């Protein structure tokens, strides 16, 4: 055994995990799982071991070994499957779908979609969630969702309603007991639940409940209220079914070439409308779990106009100059919502603060590519990979926190209140005007024709012009 490989093997932990063999070009040529990493990997290089020609060829090409710790061998199986799909190592045998863990499948392409458990993930236009290791818990969760989101379960739609309808676990689309729109609303609610958007879901349900009550559809209002109560009482099954995220963090360490596992990640985002009421947010995740007590929000002070780069520079400077002054430790990774330009200004600001060694990575929304200082090309993670899902979850939380703060400022702003008081101007036109004109002065000076060009109807355009004309008198 070569000396460098021997030292690599000795450094492996004797815990469960996934190992990756790399060739001289740093390309992954084989991925495997193990209950005990060191014991399993060392067996490949043991002197005197009988090898077939394929294994002999594999061992001869190995120049480096990487690994990902997992909490169990079953979790390692999921990582092994994901890595093989991501990298297509030439020495791996094609994965058999029937040996994988189950997914939840939502057939959104159907007229009346249904949700069920499957072990086969195909490119059929459906939405897949998972995979899930705890099959028993998954079945319990599926039973709960049938009660809260009563979609059809039949493979073929019958001509009459079945028992499922009579026990309130189906809405009876076969006999048109529910409209197409109402059915689709339930599907959208279920999607929010499966994607972990519980707050958004509860907010939309509360609005729906109030609407039904206002139009005296009390039976529907009570039905929605029961749904809210059920969702509030239950803990998200995602949180119970998910394994710890140490594997994802190990994978992030290897992807970014870090010297240690990035346990502490701080993520930044910016929110504004055409530069107006610009704010920044910072969320902190420790071991993949949000630490909300350490979230921070920033009202942009220095940057003017539509300049996301200056805004990122400002919030990064304010965050870490204060951290330095207070003697606080730095995060293991700084994550920026944006592309290569956003990454550059964040790195530049950290350098000015003397923080050259803090790793920075940005995630671009369009393709979900990761940009780093040391790589010319972005890191491309396959859709649905567990590492990408973790990074997206952190990025989306920073975005949610920024948008929430931005909205709160808009509600307090006198100019916004003035706009919505104009006859014909609701939230949609309010947002449109702010995006297109950017300031009160510009809207004040706009003619009816100017307003019509950006999509305001004739009557409302006149009302806006008259409002500001009367205000000036």
Contact between 472 and 445 under an 8 Å Cβ cutoff? The reply is: no
As a whole number of angstroms, the distance between CA 112 and CA 167 comes to 19
Task: Give the pLDDT confidence score for residue 405 in this predicted structure.
Answer: 83
Model confidence at 473: pLDDT above 60: no
> For residues 406, 412, 414 and 417, what is the CA-based torsion angle, rounded to 10 degrees?
90
Q: What is the pLDDT of residues 119-154, one digit of tens each?
A: 888 888 898 876 665 677 677 778 778 888 888 888
Question: In the predicted model, what is the mean pLDDT of residues 461-471?
Answer: 84
Model confidence at 435: pLDDT above 50: yes
Task: Give the pLDDT confidence score for residue 51 in this predicted structure.
Answer: 56
> Are both 110 and 204 inside the same structural domain?
yes
> Are both 108 and 232 inside the same structural domain?
yes
Q: What angle do CA 425, 429, 431 make, to 5 degrees?
A: 125
Task: Give the pLDDT confidence score for residue 334 in this predicted structure.
Answer: 97
Average pLDDT, whole number, for the chain? Answer: 82
> CATH code at 461?
1.10.150.20
Model confidence at 372: pLDDT above 80: yes
Task: Give the pLDDT confidence score for residue 225 in this predicted structure.
Answer: 81
Cβ contacts of 422 within 8 Å, gap of 6 or more: 460, 463, 464, 467
Domain end residue (candidates: 192, 216, 240): 240
State the residue range of the domain holding 119: 103-240
Top mean pLDDT of 190-199, 210-219, 350-359 is at 350-359
Domain end residue (candidates: 240, 273, 297): 240
> Are both 271 and 400 inside the same structural domain?
yes
Model confidence at 94: pLDDT above 50: no
Q: What is the pLDDT of residues 403-424, one digit of tens each?
A: 888 777 766 655 555 677 788 8
Model confidence at 237: pLDDT above 60: no
Task: Give the pLDDT confidence score for residue 21 in this predicted structure.
Answer: 94
Top mean pLDDT of 209-223, 263-277, 322-336 is at 322-336
Task: Give the pLDDT confidence score for residue 219 in this predicted structure.
Answer: 79
Task: Give the pLDDT confidence score for residue 241 in this predicted structure.
Answer: 44
Domain end residue (candidates: 354, 386, 408): 408
Question: In the predicted model, what is the mean pLDDT of residues 327-351?
Answer: 94
Task: Give the pLDDT confidence score for residue 95 in this predicted structure.
Answer: 42
Question: In the predicted model, what is the mean pLDDT of residues 153-158?
Answer: 84
Q: What is the pLDDT of residues 437-446, one digit of tens each?
A: 766 667 878 8
Model confidence at 358: pLDDT above 90: yes
As a whole number of angstroms, the distance between CA 91 and CA 60 comes to 12
Question: In the predicted model, what is the mean pLDDT of residues 185-207?
Answer: 80
Of 363, 358, 331, the C-alpha closest to 264 is 331
> Are both 31 and 142 inside the same structural domain?
no
Task: Give the pLDDT confidence score for residue 357 in this predicted structure.
Answer: 92
> CATH code at 301?
3.30.420.340
């Amino acid at each position: 055994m070569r000396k460098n490989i021997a030292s690599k093997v000795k450094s492996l932990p004797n815990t469960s995990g996934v190992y990756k063999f790399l060739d001289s070009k740093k390309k992954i040529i084989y991925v495997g799982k193990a209950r005990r990493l060191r014991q399993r990997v060392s067996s490949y290089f043991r002197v005197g071991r009988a090898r077939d020609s394929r294994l002999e060829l594999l061992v001869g090409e190995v120049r480096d070994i990487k690994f990902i710790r997992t909490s169990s061998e079953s979790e390692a199986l999921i990582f092994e499957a994901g890595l093989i799909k991501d990298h297509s190592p030439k020495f791996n045998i094609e994965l058999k779908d029937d040996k994988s863990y189950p997914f939840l499948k939502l057939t959104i392409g159907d007229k009346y979609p249904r949700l069920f458990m499957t072990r086969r993930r195909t490119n059929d236009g459906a939405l897949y969630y998972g995979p899930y290791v705890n099959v028993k818990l998954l079945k319990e969760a599926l039973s709960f969702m049938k009660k809260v989101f009563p979609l059809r379960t039949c493979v073929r739609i019958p001509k009459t309603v079945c028992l499922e309808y009579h026990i309130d676990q189906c809405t009876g689309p076969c006999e048109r007991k529910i409209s197409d729109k109402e059915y689709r609303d339930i599907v959208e609610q279920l999607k929010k639940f499966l994607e972990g958007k519980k707050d958004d879901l509860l907010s939309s349900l509360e609005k729906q409940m109030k609407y039904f009550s206002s139009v005296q559809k009390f039976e529907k209002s009570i039905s929605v209220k029961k749904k809210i109560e059920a969702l509030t009482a239950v803990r998200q099954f995602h949180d119970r079914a998910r394994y710890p995220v140490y594997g994802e963090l190990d994978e992030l360490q290897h992807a970014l070439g870090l010297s240690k596992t990035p346990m502490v990640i701080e993520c930044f985002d910016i929110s504004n409308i055409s530069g107006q009421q610009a704010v920044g947010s910072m969320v902190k995740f420790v071991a993949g779990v949000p630490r909300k007590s350490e979230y921070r929000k920033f009202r942009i002070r220095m940057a003017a106009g539509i300049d996301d780069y200056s805004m990122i520079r400002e919030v990064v400077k304010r965050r870490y100059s204060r951290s330095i002054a207070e003697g606080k430790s730095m995060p293991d990774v700084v994550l920026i919502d944006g592309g290569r330009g956003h990454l550059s200004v964040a790195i530049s600001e950290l350098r000015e603060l003397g923080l050259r060694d803090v790793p920075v990575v940005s995630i671009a929304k369009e393709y979900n590519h990761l940009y780093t200082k040391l790589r010319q090309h972005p890191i491309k993670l396959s859709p649905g990979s567990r590492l990408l899902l973790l990074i997206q979850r952190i990025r989306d939380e920073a975005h949610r926190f920024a948008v929430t703060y931005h909205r709160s400022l808009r509600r307090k702003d006198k100019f916004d209140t003035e706009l919505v008081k104009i006859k014909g101007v609701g939230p949609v036109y309010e947002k449109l005007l702010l995006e297109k004109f950017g300031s009160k002065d510009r809207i004040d000076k706009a003619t009816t024709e100017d307003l019509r060009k950006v999509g305001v109807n004739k009557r409302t355009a006149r009302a806006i012009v008259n409002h500001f004309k009367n205000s000036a008198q």
